[in-house]
Amino acid sequence: MLEVTVTESSPASTLVTVSGELAGSGSERLLARLDRLLDNGHRYVVLDLTAVTFCDSSGVSALVRGHARASAAAGGLKLSAASEQVTRVLELSGLARMLGLQSTVEA
């Protein structure tokens, strides 16, 4: 089960901590939360992926779709502090570069 929690918010950006498996229904849960944040005026979102234990193609798709939605709202989506397994998936998919994966959490 995926948990998505807003852990810090400022006018500049919103830090969201994600934990669990970024797969299947968890991917849709993340996307729904990103949609709510964007609808409420949070334009720049940083996802802390430290506690994400697994990411499959639906997780990759959710991140791409989230990035597209944030960009369409004149904002952005960044990734930070992914586990080794998740970092590998993000690097192989090209998302690490596209979304500016940081090794530490920076809101």
Q: What is the pLDDT of residue 106?
A: 65
- Structure-block tokens of residue 74: 């004149």
User: Is beta strand 44-55 parallel, antiparallel or unpaired with respect to 14-22?
Assistant: parallel
How far are the Cα atoms of 10, 14, 99 from residue 64, in angstroms, in the given order?
Answer: 24, 18, 9
Which domains occur in the chain, in start order?
2-102 (3.30.750.24)
Give the pLDDT score at 107: 58
| Residue 103: predicted pLDDT | 80
Contacts of 97 (CB under 8 A, 6+ apart): 91
Q: Spell out the per-residue pLDDT of the chain, length 107, in tens.
A: 899 999 988 877 999 999 999 999 999 999 999 999 999 999 999 999 999 999 999 999 999 999 999 999 999 999 998 888 899 999 999 989 988 888 877 65
Q: Are 51 and 18 in contact (CB under 8 A)?
A: yes
Can you give the pLDDT at residue 11?
78
Q: What is the pLDDT of residue 10?
A: 83
CB within 8 A of 26, min separation 6: which ones?
1, 2, 20, 59
